[in-house]
Amino acid sequence: MLDKRYQVFISTSGSEMQPERIVLAQTLVGMGFFSWGLEQRTPLSTAFARRQIDDCDYVVILLGSAYGEQSVSGVGYMHLEYIYAVTKQKPIIVFMHEEPSARDGALHDDKPELREKFQEFRKLLQNEVDQVFTYRSMRDLEMAVRFNLPQMLERSPVLGWVRPQNIQVLQDEIDHLKSKLEQLETEAGKREVDPFLSLPKVSMHEPFSFEYRMHAYQDGNFKELKIQKKLTWAQLLSILGTTFVHPTPEEFFSKRMNEYLNETGIQDARIEMPRAHAVARAQINIRALHSIKMQMRQNEWIIQSGRDDRQRMLWQITSKAQKLMESNLLDENRVFQFKTMY
């Protein structure tokens, strides 16, 4: 296999995040990534940071409890780096401290207006970035990075970097794949077995159990809840189907499921917090999300549909799923008397 590496730009608020930056950088190096980023910023360093973002493969925002140093415009350097990464359509992943108020006072901004900007920026990241993960300790941060960065590579594949001496290895691999393709094309009716297609098909009324997390608000406070939930496959197809009528990036599986859980989670929250008045930050378990996607594929409800100009995998519902959605089989009030062929 080709020895490929990925360049990661790390953006933090400043020197108070040095311990976390060290843990993050060491973890990335151990996983085979290269890390970039500027800890001390000045107006002159902004152009350099932008060049680094231009050349990187992924951007990591590491947020603690401070907004950090501001540019002459009043916008923080970390905030500017985030905005620039968005405009360049760079894949972004955020690791933020779960409870900033619990951190040492010296790690917070001194001025009230900066503390307000921090809260606004934190909320902005939670609302705009699909991949946001929290941590409490350095060990939490390391584990979050180790678990979620490989998932990021699957969701947002990029070209990466290859050693020049490996170009011949690349050419050999291309030749091998061409030969394999020719062989497969000549074997009429034979296809390479997809391990996921060994999954048994499920019926429409069959329930699927999964876990998700969310923030529930009650009496002016919030609590993170871990919820066990069941939905039928008919409900799951109804929730996700309309999102994938046209070829759509894979990341919208999690976006749509999390939107649904935010919209309906108040009922789940009130089981534990009877006076809960709002919920936010719902996030489905990533393994459960993967199982949903693979099961929908096995049931022939969804198929891969190429890649977009950012090399993101695209998915689209099949004509079979479309017919199910147009029928009354997905009606929540429908009573299933027996298993269907679906």
What CATH number corresponds to the domain at position 71? 3.40.50.300
In sign, the C-alpha dihedral spanning 217, 218, 222, 223 is negative
Task: Kindly state whether residue 199 falls inside one of the protein's structural domains.
Answer: no
Report the CATH number at residue 254: 1.10.10
pLDDT at residue 256, rounded to an integer: 94
* Spatial CB neighbours of 42, under 8 Å, sequence gap ≥ 6: none
Residue 112: domain span: 4-155
* C-alpha 264 chain-centroid distance: 21
- Give me the number of domains the chain comprises: 2
| 131 lies in the same domain as 221 | no
- pLDDT mean over 117-141: 94
| 20 lies in the same domain as 144 | yes
Tens digits of residue pLDDT in 54-63: 999 999 999 9
What's the burial of 159, exposed, middle or buried (CB within 10 Å: 0-12/13-18/19+)? exposed
| 149 lies in the same domain as 48 | yes
Task: Kindly state whether residue 165 falls inside one of the protein's structural domains.
Answer: no
- pLDDT mean over 309-317: 86
Model confidence at 119: pLDDT above 70: yes
| 130 lies in the same domain as 223 | no
| 258 lies in the same domain as 126 | no
Tens digits of residue pLDDT in 169-208: 667 777 778 777 777 766 644 444 444 445 788 888 899 9
Task: Kindly state whether residue 314 falls inside one of the protein's structural domains.
Answer: yes
pTM greater than the 0.85 cutoff: no
| 148 lies in the same domain as 10 | yes
For the chain, percent of residues with pLDDT exceeding 90: 61
Average pLDDT score over the chain = 86
pLDDT at residue 62, rounded to an integer: 96
Classified as helix, coil or strand, 11 is strand
Tens digits of residue pLDDT in 85-108: 999 999 999 999 999 999 999 999
Model confidence at 333: pLDDT above 50: no
Task: Kindly state whether residue 299 falls inside one of the protein's structural domains.
Answer: yes
- pLDDT mean over 294-316: 88
CA dihedral of 316, 318, 322, 327, whole degrees rounded to 10: -140
Task: Kindly state whether residue 70 falls inside one of the protein's structural domains.
Answer: yes
**Beta strand extents in the chain (DSSP E only):** 4-12, 33-36, 58-63, 92-97, 132-135, 161-162, 207-218, 221-232, 248-249, 278-284, 302-307, 313-317
Residue 203 has φ and ψ, to the nearest 5°, of -90, 160
Between CA 150 and CA 248 the distance in angstroms is: 21
Higher pLDDT residue, 170 or 271? Answer: 271
| 226 lies in the same domain as 139 | no
| 115 lies in the same domain as 218 | no
Task: Kindly state whether residue 79 falls inside one of the protein's structural domains.
Answer: yes
Between CA 261 and CA 213 the distance in angstroms is: 9
pLDDT at residue 3, rounded to an integer: 66
* 136, 155, 174 - which closes a domain: 155
Tokens 């970097």 label which residue? 161
* Spatial CB neighbours of 338, under 8 Å, sequence gap ≥ 6: none
Task: Kindly state whether residue 13 falls inside one of the protein's structural domains.
Answer: yes
Model confidence at 230: pLDDT above 90: yes
| 143 lies in the same domain as 31 | yes
| 131 lies in the same domain as 214 | no
* 126, 155, 184 - which closes a domain: 155
Model confidence at 328: pLDDT above 80: no
| 27 lies in the same domain as 151 | yes
* 155, 188, 219 - which closes a domain: 155
**Cβ neighbours, 10 Å, residue 48:** 12
Tens digits of residue pLDDT in 37-87: 887 788 788 889 999 999 999 999 999 999 998 988 899 999 999 999 999
Task: Kindly state whether residue 149 falls inside one of the protein's structural domains.
Answer: yes
Asked if 101 and 75 touch (Cβ cutoff 8 Å), the reply is no
| 138 lies in the same domain as 268 | no
Between CA 167 and CA 11 the distance in angstroms is: 32
Model confidence at 310: pLDDT above 90: no
Between CA 307 and CA 331 the distance in angstroms is: 32
